[in-house]
Chain A
């Protein structure tokens, strides 16, 4: 079946289609399988007991989760008090996982029900509204980063003078954690979306300047020199040669940075009035609906993966000359 299995273990060797598919499948299947094992096989982990029959213990209720040791202690107590007790009257229960590890099927159901369940209070948003809010915050934060970060990065990558003016400070600011500006952002920009957008901006902008300048510097210098000898210089050269020259790499950089923006989103949304998908997650965790929490986290992952795949496909179409690399 895998006549070139040896390719799996040869460094930097492309795989055949079948192996590629199998491994991609496995990359998702293995973690899911592990999750299933922990959830459905009773003797793996399952540190708690879900009570099916209280058996006269005062604080046992049907459906409550207690630690295994406590359950055993209560059973032993009952037996010590009355050794001849009918085993059917003893407290009984099934091995269970803690509430924070819902089983796969519960999360899958939650993926659907989270969207259909109305919010607890009238003024609270539905899940899709929260999500849309998050996406808007990310989009604005990332947009402003790009508006300032890309031109500055290109300038720094093209001119040594711009690089010396821009990069040292950027390099310093990059080490200041964006969430640390939370309190400041709220003080200046209020409690609604503005400080959240600012956090995403701070989190991505400085990285973007440095990454774009590095990408610009990787542009084949012969292209720049050729354009100079052809009579094209200055800003016109940047527009006609540098920008199209780095565009495919720039596009890839933006894809990577967009992933970072999602990371900062979660912190940003806790600032001021909690909002968006993070608000949904904290709220559900408060109600101990951990299946919904998992569902929300998965949704973020799925949105991220899908945008990235769409952007990757689009990139191939937009830059047909880039396939040669």
Chain B
């Protein structure tokens, strides 16, 4: 443990917080999870032997190279895919099908286009048996929370990408799930909006009792948001490491520039990208683009 490269930034406060998290009751328990898909008659192993436990009110991010099955993992937890082997326990109960205890926010906008913002947020409440008259004020409260009061009666197509995802988040949260699964929810947003949404999300998360399981391929995002980062390996997806993020909470405004942040990022990069193909043949391709003989005397632009 002492030899871990990130330990130098783990202050006693962070250490203390991490230890306290691990003492909380586990909410989500993934045990020996296997999943493979059939593709053109061949079995492709997506996840192998995944073991992980998320604790109450923890913020987990999952990163890994493409093809590591991180989306599949989220969909398995949501109950949108069937489990081949192993099990996923929610509060000790086996997950077999989708349920309102696990909310999900998708990468593609998944608001119901024929419903207004308010009706979208009310959807889950009504499905869980609430009457319209009680669901409405509750939905309005959530809409207030993310600052969309003016858009209560708007249709999704009238909203910007960030606003749509805010509605998608509160629609999932309104059902009071124990776990919120987020599958690259901000990937389609521009960087400025993405940061804003990340801040929103942290603020919401700090104020309610929810465990967030956040899939992303953006390492900055993962470090900024997570308590612990689950790093997956690809082909097949396995747990490579679970990284404790050595940053204090709440996150400082300049946290992106802190040495701890950069160090963590460099470390994660070494984990995620170590076996990906090196761009060694790029040079040859560039020469082809120049359309001149490799040996001819062309001044280098550098």
Contacts of A163 in B (CB 8 A): none
Interface locus among A152-160, A206-214, A220-228: A220-228
Q: Which of B80-125 contact A (CB under 8 A)?
A: 80, 97-100, 102-104, 106, 108-114, 123-124
Residues of B within 8 A of A319 (CB): 114
Interface residues of A in 108-148 (CB under 8 A from B): none
Residue count of chain A within 8 Å CB distance of chain B: 24
Q: Is the CB of B104 within 8 A of A225?
A: yes
Cα distance A244–B116 when bound, in Å? Answer: 13
Select the stretch in A16-24, A229-237, A299-307 that faces chain B. Answer: A229-237
Residues of A within 8 A of B100 (CB): 229-231
Contact of A230 among B79, B108, B123 (CB under 8 A): B123
Check if A324 is an interface residue, CB within 8 A of chain B.
yes
B245 to chain A, nearest CB (A): 27
User: Do the beta carbons of B114 and A227 come within 8 Å of each other?
Assistant: no
Residue A257 at the chain B interface, CB threshold 8 Å: no
Known contacts A320-B155, A321-B156, A321-B157; A232 and B123 CB within 8 A of each other: yes
Q: Are B80 and A229 in contact (CB under 8 A)?
A: yes
Contacts of B114 in A (CB 8 A): 244-245, 247, 319, 321
CB distance from A243 to the nearest CB of B (A): 10
Q: Is A101 an interface residue (CB 8 A)?
A: no
Q: In the bound complex, how far is the Cα of B108 from the Cα of A303, in angstroms?
A: 42
A247 to B114, CA, bound (A): 10
Is the pair B98, A229 in contact by a Cβ cutoff of 8 Å?
A: yes
Chain B's closest residue to A241 (CB) is B112
> Are B110 and A324 in contact (CB-based, < 8 A)?
no
In angstroms, Cα B111 to Cα A225, docked, is 11
Q: How far is the CA of A282 from the CA of B99 in the complex (A)?
A: 63
Q: Report the separation of the CA atoms of residues A228 and B81 in the bound assembly, to the nearest whole angstrom.
A: 12
Which residues of chain B have C-beta atoms less than 8 A from A322's C-beta?
113
Interface centre among B97, B109, B110, B128 (most CB of A within 10 A): B110
Q: A230-B100, A233-B98 are in contact. Are A222 and B155 (CB under 8 A)?
A: no
Of residues 182 through 225 on chain A, the ones whose CB sits less than 8 Å from some CB of chain B are 220, 222-223, 225
Closest Cβ neighbor of B106 among chain A residues: A222
Whether a CB of chain A sits under 8 angstroms from the CB of B78 is yes
Q: Give the CA-CA distance A226 to B104 in the complex, in Å.
A: 7
Let me know if A231 and B155 touch, CB within 8 A.
Answer: no
With contacts A227-B123, A229-B80, A231-B127 taken as known, whether A245 is within 8 angstroms of B102 at the C-beta atoms is no
Complex: how many Å from CA A229 to CA B123?
Answer: 11
Contacts of A236 in B (CB 8 A): 127
Contacts A244-B114, A319-B114, A321-B156; A231 near B124 (Cβ below 8 A): yes
Binary contact track B132-172/A, C-beta < 8 Å → 1, others 0 = 00000000000000000000000111000000000010011
Contact of A228 among B98, B111, B157 (CB under 8 A): B98
| Cα–Cα distance between A247 and B79 once the two chains are bound (Å) | 27
List B contacts of A233 (CB < 8 A): 97-98
Q: Tell me which residues across on chain B come within 8 A of A247, comparing CB atoms.
A: 114
Complex: A233 Cα to B78 Cα, angstroms: 14
Instruction: Give the shortest distance, in Å, between B106 (CB) and chain A (any CB).
Output: 5
User: Nearest Cβ in chain A — how far from B60, in angstroms?
Assistant: 18
> Which chain B positions have C-beta within 8 A of A323?
157
Shortest Cβ gap from B124 to chain A (Å): 4
Cβ contact within 8 Å between B103 and A244: no
Residues of A within 8 A of B128 (CB): 231
Closest to A243 in B: B114
CA distance A240 to B98 in the complex (A): 17
A222 CA to B104 CA, complexed, in Å: 10
| Cβ of A169 to closest chain B Cβ, rounded Å | 26
Smallest CB separation, A27 vs chain B (Å)? 31
**Chain B 29-69: CB-based contact to A (< 8 A → 1; otherwise 0):** 00000000000000000000000000000000000000000
Nearest CB to that of B156 among chain A residues?
A321
- Name the distance in Å between B145's Cβ and chain A's nearest Cβ: 18
Contact yes or no, B112 A244, CB < 8 A: yes
Tell me the smallest distance from the CB of A316 to a CB of chain B, in Å. 14
Q: Which residues of B contact A228 (CB under 8 A)?
A: 78-80, 98
Which of chain B's residues have a CB closer than 8 A to the CB of A241? 112
Cβ-defined contact, B98 with A220, below 8 A: no
Taking A230-B100, A230-B123 as contacts, is the C-beta distance between A225 and B172 under 8 angstroms?
no
Q: In the bound complex, how far is the Cα of B124 from the Cα of A56, in angstroms?
A: 93
Give me the 10 closest cross-chain CB pairs, A-B, nearest first: A324-B157, A231-B100, A222-B110, A230-B124, A228-B98, A226-B110, A229-B104, A232-B127, A231-B127, A321-B155
Residue numbers of A with Cβ under 8 A of B are: 220, 222-223, 225-233, 236, 240-241, 244-245, 247, 319-324
B residues with a Cβ closer than 8 A to A are 78-80, 97-100, 102-104, 106, 108-114, 123-124, 127-128, 155-157, 168, 171-172, 175, 181
What 20 new A-B contacts, CB under 8 Å, besides A229-B80, A232-B123, A245-B112? Answer: A222-B106, A222-B108, A222-B109, A225-B78, A225-B106, A226-B104, A227-B112, A227-B127, A228-B80, A229-B181, A230-B123, A231-B98, A231-B100, A231-B127, A232-B124, A244-B114, A245-B113, A321-B156, A322-B113, A323-B157
